[in-house]
Copies of this chain bind each other. A is one copy, B any other.
Amino acid sequence: MVSYNTANPGYQGRMTSPQPRKRDAQATKARILEAAQSVFARTSYADAGIREIAARAGVSTTLLLQYFGSKAGLYEEALNLLVPLGDVLQTPRAQFGQALAEALLHSGDQKIRPTLMIPLAGGDSEAATIAARVMEERAIAPLAAWLGPPNARARALEIAAMATGLVTYTAYLPLRAHTGQDIAHMAAWFAQNVQTIVDNGAD
């Protein structure tokens, strides 16, 4: 592993990647963001370290900070990039529950799933403030608008609550392994209840 900011001066890493890599700020930024997403999704904000993200992107921490200003800045940009609901909101209303369930349970550890882990940021920390804003703007608000009255916001929050809970207990917490039956039961339960919220605007 090529590591920067550690005791390994001068080594260029030509063995692992034959090309010393061209200089391309945009591509580098993208690599950093990708690394940030995967690291922030796996550990909590406080546990995730700038050094690990930088190493995973094959960059020095300095460059990372130069591009994103601070760890918090990187966090915000990484979250914003996920645009959680984008695709799912395109599906027909009648299949929304099913579509969201599949997106949450089968997504390849990227895209939507991490977004639901945003709340895992913390309580009153700087990270929580950022996470709350992003969640509000990119998930709750669009979902509420899509749902429409009555009680748009409450219903959006209910869906978000179920989604966060589902991901938490199926993919995030290292609980004792679930059986296929358990997963199937939960998926069906989730899809149906979400769909009810979508359909039953008038309760």
Contacts and interface: CB of A to CB of B under 8 A. Distances in A.
Interface residues of A, number: 54
Q: Is the interface of A mostly helix, strand, loop or mixed?
A: helix
A6 to B, nearest CB: 22
A122 B181 CA distance: 26
Interface string A162-203: 111110111011111011011101100110010001000000
B128 A174 contact: yes
A132 interface: yes
A120 interface: yes
Number of copies: 2
A56 to B, nearest CB: 15
B157 A164 contact: no
Interface string A136-166: 1000100000000001011101101111111
A123 interface: yes
A160 B166 CA distance: 9
A161 B157 contact: no
Interface stretch (A7-15, A29-37, A41-49): A41-49
